[in-house]
Amino acid sequence: MICMAKVKRIDESMYNYVRCPQCHSKIGWKPKDVKVRIIRLPHMIGSNPEPMGFTCKRCKSCYLITTESE
């Protein structure tokens, strides 16, 4: 299940950000001890991008970010 909540302020001592692999701009936040896998999606799927994917604001690349389970 996915839970979404509005965050007013992020404690940067506990979180760091995920960078776009192509242009290196920030595309999201994650807890420091969690490893993530970034999967690039086709630029546009049909007329709309993936509903739960992330789109880089700078280069417009679409990504799906998942956590790596050990």
Chain segment 2-39, per-residue pLDDT in tens: 677 777 887 888 888 889 999 999 988 888 888 888 88
Q: Where are the domains of the chain?
A: 33-70
pLDDT band at 60 (very low <50, low <70, confident <90, very high): confident
SS3 66: strand
pLDDT at res. 1:
61
Q: Report the predicted TM-score, pTM, of the whole model to 2 decimal places.
A: 0.64
Cβ contact 52:65 at 8 Å: no
- Tokens coding 52: 């739960």
Q: What sign results for the dihedral spanned by CA atoms 58, 63, 69, 70?
A: negative
Distances (CA, A) of 46 to 28, 37, 43, 51, 60: 24, 24, 10, 12, 15
